[in-house]
């Protein structure tokens, strides 16, 4: 393990993660001692429209993957329409490799609760939901406890802190489907239906939960709000880059010495992140990595100095996504890794549209054939052709995302595929695993 240089260490900017190591950080008493609910007191004295403007001015962009400007999204909620408004927090966190929302909710649930109250006040919602993935039992328990504590202290419920503002907050556990992280499938699931994406338009801003105006935001997005309210838009913009403002929690996994969450200004590079994480594991050299989960095209060792912000990663031909950097070495196989991801997409495809449902099914079978040493060169064309028929033709982003590891691994590592096809690499799958591959 190597020690990071002081100038690289200085790039750590703990904002959302700053309380995580405090003893009992999840309890209300600790949270209040560490500035907790001070932002709420300040926000409740402001006009809701001024809060929306503040979030616009801060340049905060959604932390759920697409980076949509948060203030703009809040501003789309029609006011004075006589309908109930809803805030829904997307805590599904299903993207492979992503691990930033769960630790936040486990270690600092009150920061999310406080963010929910301020955001609901800004968009004039009197009911909010946190939709958390079903497997995250521990985080859900912490959140429910935080909601109870906040209620008992007058931060939730009727007439919050004497402001006249009422808010009910419900923590809802899903059943563990990746598609329920897609915001419209999430809304269907929350309403009690099978989670499948809805046709857009109309968008959730006007026809969301129960066909009413709804904001859906990621956990990290909403948990950022109290910090911006307390310290201001300019302070937030002093971190990150001009178009990608603020700090971001990067979750590092794979062949590095110290996997975990590293919060740094947007625009840090993978080279710096690996240094912060103590370097690569001994005997491993970087071969490929995902900048933001498996739905984002793979990058390689050539891309170590790409700024990890929305613009920098796009310029390198990928997507910032959820900043889940999964790091693979020269001892890992990009063909096998892609196959495992495709197994996931195939399993998680909701089946609503043909390109994704059938395309992922067939691609899994082609991969099995290649990995069993029975593939042909024509299989590589079949994979690219199938991706062509999924990307842009699927009903939602799951189908598009599934093509990312396929096309990018074929772009950078075609030789690894040919090595299986031409017999230079020993098969990884047996004939038994080949059932249905022809
Ligand atoms: C298949 C799929 C899965 C998704 N999963 C998540 C998720 O787990 N958490 C999340 O915040 N956003 C997820 N998203 C993105 C959401 O649809 C939505 O863009 C996001 O919740 C908006 O919040 P933000 O503006 O704060 O980023 C997913 C999108 C797709 C297509
Ligand atoms: S792309 Fe896949 S997950 Fe999305 S609607 Fe179509 S079948 Fe369902």
Place of tokens 């999310």: 112
Integer Cα distance of 330 and 81 in angstroms: 58
Q: Which of 335, 408, 412, 324 minimizes the C-alpha distance to 368? A: 335
Q: Which ligand gives the minimal distance to the CA of 360?
A: 2
pLDDT (tens digit per residue) in 90-124? 999 999 999 999 999 999 999 999 999 999 999 99
Ligand 2: does its nearest atom lie under 6 Å from the Cβ of 395? yes
Mean pLDDT of 223-228: 98
pLDDT for the residue numbered 186: 98
Integer Cα distance of 415 and 417 in angstroms: 5
Integer Cα distance of 304 and 160 in angstroms: 48
Q: Which ligand gives the minimal distance to the CA of 294?
A: 1
pLDDT for the residue numbered 248: 98
Q: What percent of the chain has pLDDT over 90?
A: 97
Give DSSP secondary structure letters for 230-263: HH-HHHHHTSB-SSSBSEEEEEEEESBSS-EEEE
172 forms beta bridges with 131
Confidence of residue 433 (pLDDT cuts 50, 70, 90): confident
Q: Which of 323, 354, 322, 328 minimizes the C-alpha distance to 340? A: 328
Supply the residue whose CA is at minimum distance from atom 28 of ligand 1.
182
Distance of CA 318 from the midpoint of ligand 2 (Å): 21
Supply the residue whose CA is at minimum distance from atom 24 of ligand 1.
62
Ligand 2: does its nearest atom lie under 6 Å from the Cβ of 360? no
Distance of CA 284 from the midpoint of ligand 2 (Å): 37
Integer Cα distance of 369 and 363 in angstroms: 10
Integer Cα distance of 342 and 337 in angstroms: 9
Question: Measured between alpha carbons, how far is residue 263 from residues 105, 217, 293 in Å?
Answer: 15, 20, 17
Question: 67: phi > 0 → left, psi -120 to 50 → alpha, else beta; which?
Answer: left
- Residue 378, token pair as written in the block: 């024509």
- Residue 152, token pair as written in the block: 């008992």
Mutate to test the pocket of ligand 1, among 68, 130, 175, 182 (most ligand atoms within 8 A of CB): 182
Question: ∠ CA(268), CA(93), CA(344), 5° rounding?
Answer: 100
* Mean predicted lDDT score pLDDT of the chain: 97
CB 109 within 8 A of CB 26: yes
| Rg over CA atoms, the chain | 22
pLDDT for the residue numbered 430: 86
Domains and CATH numbers, the chain: 35-238 (3.40.50.11540), 240-329 (3.10.20.600), 334-433 (1.20.1440.230)
pTM > 0.85: yes or no: yes
Ligand 2: does its nearest atom lie under 6 Å from the Cβ of 396? yes
CB 178 within 8 A of CB 94: yes
Q: Which ligand gives the minimal distance to the CA of 352?
A: 2
Supply the residue whose CA is at minimum distance from atom 12 of ligand 1.
64
Atom of ligand 2 minimally distant from the CA of 348: 3
Integer Cα distance of 193 and 186 in angstroms: 10
How long, in residues, is the chain? 438
Q: Which ligand gives the minimal distance to the CA of 186?
A: 1
Mutate to test the pocket of ligand 2, among 350, 397, 400 (most ligand atoms within 8 A of CB): 350
Ligand 2: does its nearest atom lie under 6 Å from the Cβ of 297? no
Distance of CA 94 from the midpoint of ligand 2 (Å): 15
pLDDT for the residue numbered 438: 53
- Ligand 1: residues with CB < 6 A are 62-66, 68, 90, 92-95, 178-179, 181-183, 216-218, 221, 396-398
pLDDT for the residue numbered 1: 79
Whether 400 has a pLDDT exceeding 70, the answer reads yes
pLDDT for the residue numbered 431: 79
CB 425 within 8 A of CB 416: yes
Mean pLDDT of 1-21: 94
**DSSP label at 23?**
T
pLDDT (tens digit per residue) in 57-77? 999 999 999 999 999 999 999
Mutate to test the pocket of ligand 2, among 356, 386, 400 (most ligand atoms within 8 A of CB): 356
Mean pLDDT of 210-221: 98
Interacting residues of 45 by C-beta distance below 8 A, sequence separation 6+: none
pLDDT (tens digit per residue) in 117-172? 999 999 999 999 999 999 999 999 999 999 999 999 999 999 999 999 999 999 99
Integer Cα distance of 419 and 424 in angstroms: 5
324 forms beta bridges with 251
pLDDT for the residue numbered 436: 59
Confidence of residue 52 (pLDDT cuts 50, 70, 90): very high
Q: Which ligand gives the minimal distance to the CA of 182?
A: 1
Q: What percent of the chain has pLDDT over 70?
A: 99
Whether 435 has a pLDDT exceeding 80, the answer reads no
Q: Which of 248, 190, 237 minimizes the C-alpha distance to 63? A: 248
pLDDT (tens digit per residue) in 241-284? 999 999 999 999 999 999 999 999 999 999 999 999 999 999 99
Integer Cα distance of 146 and 54 in angstroms: 26
């Amino acid at each position: 393990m190597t020690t990071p240089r002081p100038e690289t260490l200085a790039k750590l900017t703990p904002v959302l993660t700053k309380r995580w190591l405090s003893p009992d950080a999840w309890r209300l008493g600790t949270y209040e001692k560490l500035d907790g609910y001070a932002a709420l007191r300040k926000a409740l004295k402001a006009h809701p429209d001024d809060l929306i403007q503040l979030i616009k001015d801060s340049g905060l962009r959604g932390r759920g993957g697409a980076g949509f400007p948060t203030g703009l999204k809040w501003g789309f909620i029609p006011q004075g329409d006589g309908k109930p408004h809803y805030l829904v927090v997307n805590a599904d966190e299903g993207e492979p490799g992503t691990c930033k929302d769960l630790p936040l909710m486990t270690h600092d649930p009150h920061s999310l609760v406080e963010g929910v109250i301020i955001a609901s006040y800004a968009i004039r919602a009197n009911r909010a939901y946190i939709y958390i993935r079903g497997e995250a039992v521990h985080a859900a328990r912490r959140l429910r406890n935080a909601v109870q504590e906040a209620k008992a202290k007058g931060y939730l419920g009727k007439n919050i802190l004497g402001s006249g503002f009422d808010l009910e907050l419900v923590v809802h556990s899903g059943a563990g489907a990746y598609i329920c992280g897609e915001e419209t499938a999430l809304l269907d699931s929350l309403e009690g239906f099978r989670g499948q994406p809805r046709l857009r338009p109309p968008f959730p801003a006007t026809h969301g939960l129960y066909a009413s105006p709804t904001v859906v935001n990621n956990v990290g997005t909403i948990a950022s709000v109290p910090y911006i309210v307390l310290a201001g838009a300019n302070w937030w913009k002093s971190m990150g880059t001009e178009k990608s403002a603020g700090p971001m929690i990067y979750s590092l996994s794979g062949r590095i010495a110290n996997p975990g969450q590293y919060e740094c200004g947007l625009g840090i590079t993978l080279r710096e992140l690996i240094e912060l994480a103590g370097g690569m594991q001994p005997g491993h050299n970087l071969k490929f990595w995902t900048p933001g989960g498996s739905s984002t095209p793979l990058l390689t060792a050539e891309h170590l100095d790409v700024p990890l912000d929305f613009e920098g990663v796009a310029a390198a031909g990928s997507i910032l996504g959820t900043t889940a950097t999964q790091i693979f070495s020269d001892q890992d196989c990009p063909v096998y890794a892609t196959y495992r991801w495709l197994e996931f997409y195939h399993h998680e495809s909701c089946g609503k549209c043909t390109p994704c449902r059938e395309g992922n099914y067939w691609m899994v079978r082609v991969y099995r054939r290649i990995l069993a040493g029975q593939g042909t060169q024509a299989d590589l064309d079949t994979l690219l052709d199938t991706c062509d028929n999924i990307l842009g033709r699927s009903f939602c982003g799951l189908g598009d995302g599934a093509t990312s590891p396929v096309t990018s691994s074929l772009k950078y590592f075609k030789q690894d595929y040919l090595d299986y096809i031409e017999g230079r690499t020993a098969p990884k799958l047996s004939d038994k695993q080949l059932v249905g591959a022809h």
